[in-house]
Chain A
């Protein structure tokens, strides 16, 4: 494919990798957080809720800067992680972290709504039939919230694909290293004659986003249909 240059391909591939990891790593944590916020009462619940939603309301640049201050090589957490072999600053892993943090509130929100929609009476029924709490979760709650998990995951993936502000602040814009799709579009627009390359990347962005949306619709519809009829 010579429609796209190697640099553009790199950006697309990197973005997919970053978004995939941001989503996959975020899913279990997101599910746990959503479940805790939906079902449990604990001290500091509102604080946790606020922290989760913070990236949604803060300027992305601020989030990126806070990440840099926490996970940068000279920051305490970053330095410790580097000692045990994990580096975030100016690596693709850092881009994934930034994208994951930015996408987290969207993911948690979708999951939390679906958990709150589950009728607790069904879980009680499962318990009277002999299912322990873990089994109730696995056999009743989880299947019922699957559409919400998929919706949350796809929303997070799309958000992670498009993350720009926090990413560029935290891990900069190094081609082949941390240059994701939006960063590449931004970079092409900064140089004369880069518009056509930028335009191609824009088209790819739109295509990826639409595909994700479509897939989530199809999944959600299929699952709902299954529960509503035969």
Chain B
């Protein structure tokens, strides 16, 4: 459990942030310049905020009221940086051990073999960082942070420097970190796809202030929440792999609904999250027939929110969960869309991008 209360003057605005991060993975979300990195660096002790109270699991790291300020090396955090920051003069194994050299003897110790296995870095142990790919470096960096017996793991856009394929390679390891360890994680990101896939809790920052905070599924399904401009709005649905079909499709169950998407490569029964971008959802007043889209969800309209432009965001409750649709205001008027009305959401199968699907 992490509790942060920060006030710090920055260029152009004042950072003024208060939030609690429950166990699990908490994403600090916002566009660049919203103050995310400042917050995470203040937690790490790399930045000394003008006014701060930071408490991790009951241990105060920083409190300007009492003048307490622990230097970074006494905070016992594991920080995964955007660029990895592996030590170039040490082998991967020595990098992994680095934090262990300084961890207190009585600290709960992660097992090296288990971490190496979990991150799949066994074959890399005797190599030096310069010969690793970006994805391999990041995996080693995650291991190094984890093995330092941290109270809290910090990650500052750890995927931002990687290409799409490498991102897809690293994401599962953060999921394992979230699901297989008890260490809370504070994760900075500006990618809705990463948020949808990883976040337990979401703290959205805007101009140095907390715009929204709460459980990720709840915040992402809120039509009032437009993270990076309207285009990237999307709801997250928690589903389960039901079965695989011979024609290459996987069937997912979510509530009473069924979703079909290209083979997800996961065993039946595996829970996963699917992100449905609002712009990929079409609405129909009647149950559509004779169309190519496989995924049609019935739901009641909860809210219709018109933006300043010609668009509107409609949120509907389906048995699978909250779904958002982006339509034009003209359609809202023509169809008479309003809260309480039952409509059908048509989601194109192909619109569920692979990197938005998580396990």
A interface residues (Cβ-Cβ under 8 A, vs B): 119, 121-122, 124-133, 135-136, 139-140, 143-144, 226-230
Give CA–CA (A77, B76) in the complex, Å. 50
List chain B residues, Cβ under 8 A from A121: 81, 83, 85
Chain A residue at minimum C-beta to C-beta distance from B88: A227
Q: List 22 A-B contacts (CB under 8 A).
A: A119-B85, A121-B81, A121-B83, A122-B85, A124-B46, A124-B85, A125-B87, A127-B72, A127-B73, A128-B79, A130-B74, A130-B99, A131-B101, A131-B102, A132-B102, A136-B73, A139-B101, A140-B89, A226-B89, A227-B88, A228-B128, A230-B131
Q: How many residues of B contact A (CB 8 A)?
A: 32
Are A227 and B72 in contact, with the CB atoms below 8 A? no
B51-81: contact bitstring with A at CB < 8 Å (1 yes, 0 no)? 0000000000000000000011111111101
Is residue B36 contacting chain A, with contact meaning CB distance below 8 A?
no
Give CA–CA (A3, B233) in the complex, Å. 88
* Total cross-chain contacts (CB, 8 A): 81
**When A and B form their complex, which 9 residue pairs have the shortest distance between CB atoms, in order from nearest?**
A130-B102, A129-B99, A125-B85, A128-B79, A127-B72, A143-B89, A227-B88, A228-B130, A127-B73
From A129, A226, A229, contact of B98 by CB (8 A): A129
From B73, B79, B81, B128, contact of A131 by CB (8 A): B73
List chain A residues, Cβ under 8 A from B89: 140, 143-144, 226-227
Is residue B103 contacting chain A, with contact meaning CB distance below 8 A?
yes
A125-B128 contact in complex given A130-B148, A139-B98, A144-B89, C-beta closer than 8 Å: no
From B77, B87, B88, B126, contact of A128 by CB (8 A): B77
List chain A residues, Cβ under 8 A from B176: none
> Taking the nearest CB of chain B, how far is it from the CB of A229, in angstroms?
5
A135-B102 contact in complex given A121-B81, A130-B148, C-beta closer than 8 Å: yes
B121-150: contact bitstring with A at CB < 8 Å (1 yes, 0 no)? 000001110110000000000001100100
Is residue B2 contacting chain A, with contact meaning CB distance below 8 A?
no
Chain A residue at minimum C-beta to C-beta distance from B76: A130
Give CA–CA (A14, B269) in the complex, Å. 82
Are A128 and B128 in contact, with the CB atoms below 8 A? no
Are B44 and A128 in contact, with the CB atoms below 8 A? yes
Give CA–CA (A202, B126) in the complex, Å. 48
List chain A residues, Cβ under 8 A from B154: 128
A128-B75 contact in complex given A121-B83, A122-B85, C-beta closer than 8 Å: yes
Give CA–CA (A128, B88) in the complex, Å. 17
Give CA–CA (A92, B268) in the complex, Å. 84
Are A128 and B130 in contact, with the CB atoms below 8 A? no
Are B72 and A124 in contact, with the CB atoms below 8 A? yes
From B79, B83, B130, B144, contact of A227 by CB (8 A): B130
Chain A residue at minimum C-beta to C-beta distance from B89: A143
B280-313: contact bitstring with A at CB < 8 Å (1 yes, 0 no)? 0000000000000000000000000000000000
Give CA–CA (A144, B87) in the complex, Å. 9
Give CA–CA (A121, B73) in the complex, Å. 14
Give CA–CA (A116, B298) in the complex, Å. 63
> Taking the nearest CB of chain A, how far is it from the CB of B169, in angstroms?
22
List chain B residues, Cβ under 8 A from A130: 73-74, 76, 99, 101-103, 148
List chain B residues, Cβ under 8 A from A230: 126-128, 131
List chain B residues, Cβ under 8 A from A129: 73, 78-79, 98-99, 102, 144-145, 148
Give CA–CA (A11, B77) in the complex, Å. 59
> Taking the nearest CB of chain A, how far is it from the CB of B110, in angstroms?
13
List chain A residues, Cβ under 8 A from B79: 125, 128-129
Give CA–CA (A138, B64) in the complex, Å. 31
List chain B residues, Cβ under 8 A from A125: 79, 81, 85, 87
| From B88, B101, B131, B154, residue with most partner A Cβ within 10 Å | B88
Are A128 and B78 in contact, with the CB atoms below 8 A? yes
> Taking the nearest CB of chain A, how far is it from the CB of B78, in angstroms?
7
| From A124, A128, A139, A230, residue with most partner B Cβ within 10 Å | A128
Give CA–CA (A127, B75) in the complex, Å. 9
> Taking the nearest CB of chain B, how far is it from the CB of A135, in angstroms?
7
> Taking the nearest CB of chain B, how far is it from the CB of A203, in angstroms?
39
| From A136, A139, A229, residue with most partner B Cβ within 10 Å | A139
Are A132 and B87 in contact, with the CB atoms below 8 A? no
Give CA–CA (A224, B74) in the complex, Å. 32
Give CA–CA (A230, B90) in the complex, Å. 10
Chain B residue at minimum C-beta to C-beta distance from A128: B79
* A-B contacts besides A140-B87, A229-B128, 9 pairs, CB < 8 Å: A124-B85, A127-B46, A129-B98, A130-B101, A135-B73, A135-B102, A136-B73, A139-B101, A230-B128
Are A126 and B87 in contact, with the CB atoms below 8 A? yes
List chain A residues, Cβ under 8 A from B130: 227-229
List chain A residues, Cβ under 8 A from B77: 128
> Taking the nearest CB of chain A, how far is it from the CB of B12, in angstroms?
24
List chain B residues, Cβ under 8 A from A144: 88-89
> Taking the nearest CB of chain B, how far is it from the CB of A194, in angstroms?
50
Give CA–CA (A133, B154) in the complex, Å. 21
